[in-house]
A = this chain, B = another copy of it.
Amino acid sequence: MAKIAILGFGTVGSGVYEVLQHNAASVARRAGEPVEVKYILDVRDFSDRPDAHLFVRNIDAILADDEVKVVVETIGGTRFAYPYVKQALASGRSVCTSNKEMVALYGAELLALAKENGCAFLFEASVGGGTPIITPMHQCLAANVITGVEGIVNGTTNFMLTKMAREGMDFADALKIAQQLGYAETKDPGDDVDGRDAGRKIAILASLVCGHHIYPQNIPTRGIRDVTAADVRAADKLGCVIKLIAWMKLLPGGGVAAGVEPCLVPKTNQLAGVDDVFNAVRVHGDMLGDVVFYGKGAGKLPTASAVVADVVDALKHGGRMHDSLFWQQAAPAEGMLTDPEPAAYYLGIEGAAPAVAAAICGEGQLVAERYDGCAYLVSRADGPALDRMAHKLEAVGGRVRLVLRLLPGED
């Protein structure tokens, strides 16, 4: 019988408890022994529950009990989670978490602490919710050098963009529905719609690929606030959809570039068909080529089931996981990890005649003369070139209202 503790009995934490009860037999078979929750840490009052005796309000009881082998952290944020997780790892307990903020900020430090203490620090649920991404990347692709990752990793914005595409809704209405359904925060939906959540997730995957810590603050991040219903219609006319894509790639001369930005995705690209709250991540291995992992990016039970799979791995393999699941500590980069290579961008330009816009955007190729008062064109450029275009357009009273990176079609 393996005893574990759950820190934080919110959505994911209570889901972990539910999954362990619902699928106790299959979990026991896979772990090689039954898995039992001995403590649940939460400061709220659960005294009316039949299992009230499991609840504690202080982590000391958990750390003092040698029977507890694995600690599940589902508090979220870093204020409490981070010190608790450090204490648990320092005491030799494996920790499994869904906390992307903590992993994105302190992943390298916590992995090192786990390695030092012969235990595991696992976080499959921090990216893609229940969809297996991190484990296949470091384990099944062990014989590959991963050269790039791109994907849809924020379910809320993907739900909104799907609503906008299917029902012609504008951003504000799509956000309102996402908030009503509990997908987006009511007070400040910025973590989702401004891309910060996606930025944390791609920082985690980039760290795993690069072997050293990549910080979210070094990743150029743009969300979907600028995307209008007209933009979505214009994209459809081109056989494309607009998606919020998080990406990273190794650069030919060494180094890494990464970003979170709305992209124009041809419908022949596998990522174009990923709708609603689903997530999908494409990983490029040098031996394997492209693989895509697709599934529900969030939700109580899917996310909890990924945490429980980590608990099974922690019980079976402990500190041995960190031969492949590891990255070095590193200071944040000096500047942003912008892409030094030119890419194709799709520009929405207001206030300038299409011909003028096309002339200014140099090699720009006009793709839709004018649509709802906006001229759309495609231009191959790097960041500084895009800035120069914007300045020139301003000089003639125009404005770049929208910049979408253009993904290739396939497959």
Contact = CB atoms under 8 A, between A and B. Distances in A.
A132 B301 CA distance: 23
Contacts of A19: 143, 287
Contacts of A278: 411
Interface string A297-313: 00101101111110011
Interface in A201-243: none
Interface stretch (A29-37, A149-157, A251-259, A378-386): A29-37
A287 B312 contact: no
Most chain B C-beta atoms within 10 Å of own C-beta, residue among A23, A31, A276, A304: A23
A184 to B, nearest CB: 21
B144 A140 contact: no
A130 B289 contact: yes
A305 to B, nearest CB: 4
Contact of A140 (B20, B291, B306, B323): B306
Contact of A305 (B131, B288, B320): B288
A292 B289 contact: no
A132 B142 contact: no
Contacts of A27: 142-143
Nearest to A296: B289
A142 B323 contact: no
Most chain B C-beta atoms within 10 Å of own C-beta, residue among A130, A286, A296: A130
A299 B288 CA distance: 9
A288 B306 CA distance: 8
Contact of A32 (B144, B306, B316, B323): B323
A132 B136 contact: yes
A136 B276 CA distance: 23
A208 B291 CA distance: 22
Contacts of A285: 130, 305
Given A138-B30, A323-B29, A323-B316, A143 B288 contact: no
Nearest to A35: B143
A58 interface: no
Contact of A320 (B136, B289, B317): B317
Given A287-B130, A288-B130, A141 B411 contact: no
Name the 4 nearest CB pairs between A and B, nearest first: A132-B140, A143-B308, A291-B295, A287-B305
Interface of A: 19-20, 22-23, 26-27, 29-32, 124, 130-132, 135-136, 138-145, 268, 270, 273, 275-276, 278, 285-296, 299, 301-302, 304-309, 312-313, 316-317, 320, 323-324, 411
10 contacts: A23-B144, A30-B138, A124-B140, A132-B141, A141-B309, A143-B312, A285-B305, A288-B302, A312-B324, A316-B320
